[in-house]
């Protein structure tokens, strides 16, 4: 039996409705899961009409809102679209939490729109963690060839060194190890841990964070039975992970260290997953793209990949 995946529509004024309609019509999605769209039936049908695609049936959509299409400004963030975006997330999470869905996938929201609606969280991840009461969680972005987990996410480079602690690195490694066992079916995940500085500090020549902070975290992880290696120079570790297949996942210290290589490999089909939650949640790895909304130009490849990954994680977590 195929897993049931709840998929939010994202911001109604962005590319969310478009890529969701495309996904519902995609044979790969139909093969991977039974998808329930969580959004607005009227908006989805209007988007399908404009795109000349088959619209969803009543049974395919949990219609949370009944938006006035005349007030919805396509391609522009608004309080109306922000409020709807948040409502879709809450409903999809609730469905997953009570067992009506095995996992949920989120289409992109606009930070500007949800802020207009009174939303105070940095994004999806922090909001979902708050609603589930989860304190320890990490962001993973990945595709078939490379998966990356971040110790720090959206922080300025100036702040990063102060946020890298033995505790934060060890926590990230531990959450990653558990998730890759339960959700990705690996008995002993091979985890590469990046250094912070060039050449992982070069024995202290380029900084001592690698030796004094990251290395102790890796030692503690290994002592706990986790197959972690590092700190490793980030200019070679991704080559080793992708070309040499030495590692299953790379733990990066900061945003661009990990996501530059990731997006080189998986720009169109990358998936954002939150590890450490009591529920399974994946997301597309792109924004609302207001400039091309409802024009038939947006690729739905990332959404297909996110649905497929969520379905695979649901099956594996059930077995675990």
| Residue 109: HSE in the Cβ half-sphere, 13 Å Cα cutoff | 31
What is the mean predicted confidence (pLDDT) over 192-208?
84
pLDDT tens-digit profile of 81-95? 999 999 999 999 999
The reported pLDDT for the residue numbered 67 is 96
- How many DSSP H helices and E strands does the chain contain? 13, 11
Q: Where are the domains of the chain?
A: 1-134+277-320, 138-268
CATH class (in words) of the domain with range 1-134+277-320: alpha beta
**Average pLDDT value over all residues in the chain:** 94
Shortest CA distance to 15 belongs to which of 105, 69, 75, 83? Answer: 75
The reported pLDDT for the residue numbered 201 is 61
CATH fold of the domain at 138-268: Isopropylmalate Dehydrogenase (3.40.718)
Is 1-134+277-320's fold the same as 138-268's?
A: yes
Q: How confident is the model at residue 120 (pLDDT cuts 50, 70, 90)?
A: confident
- pTM of the predicted model as reported, rounded to 2 decimal places: 0.93
Dihedral of CA 123/126/130/131: which sign?
Answer: positive
């Amino acid at each position: 039996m195929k897993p049931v995946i709840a998929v939010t529509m994202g911001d109604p004024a962005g590319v969310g409705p478009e890529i969701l309609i495309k996904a519902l019509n995609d044979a790969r999605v139909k093969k991977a899961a039974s998808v329930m769209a969580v959004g607005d039936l009227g908006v989805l049908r209007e988007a399908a009409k404009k795109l000349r695609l088959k619209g969803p049936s009543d049974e395919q959509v949990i219609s949370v809102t009944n938006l006035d299409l005349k007030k919805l400004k396509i391609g522009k963030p608004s309080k109306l679209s922000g409020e709807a975006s948040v409502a879709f997330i809450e409903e999809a999470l609730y469905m997953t939490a009570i067992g009506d869905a095995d996992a949920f996938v989120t289409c992109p929201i606009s930070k500007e729109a949800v802020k207009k609606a009174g939303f105070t969280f940095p994004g999806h991840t922090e909001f979902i963690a708050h609603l589930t009461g989860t304190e320890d969680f990490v962001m993973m972005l990945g595709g078939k060839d490379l998966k990356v987990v971040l110790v720090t996410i959206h922080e300025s480079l100036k702040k990063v060194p102060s946020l890298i602690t033995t505790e934060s690195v060890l926590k990230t490694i531990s959450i990653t190890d558990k998730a890759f066992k339960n959700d990705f079916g690996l008995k002993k995940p091979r985890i590469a841990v990046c250094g912070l500085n060039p050449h992982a500090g070069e024995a202290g020549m380029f900084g001592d964070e690698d030796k004094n902070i990251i290395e102790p975290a890796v030692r503690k992880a290994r002592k706990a039975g986790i197959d972690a290696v590092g700190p490793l120079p980030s200019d070679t570790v991704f080559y080793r992970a992708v070309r040499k297949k030495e590692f299953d996942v790379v733990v990066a210290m900061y945003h661009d260290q990990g996501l530059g290589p990731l997006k080189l490999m998986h720009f169109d089909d990358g998936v954002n997953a939150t590890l450490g939650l009591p529920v399974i949640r994946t997301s597309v790895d792109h924004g609302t793209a207001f400039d091309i909304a409802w024009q038939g130009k947006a690729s739905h490849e990332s959404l297909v990949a996110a649905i497929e990954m969520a379905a695979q994680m649901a099956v594996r977590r059930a077995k675990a």
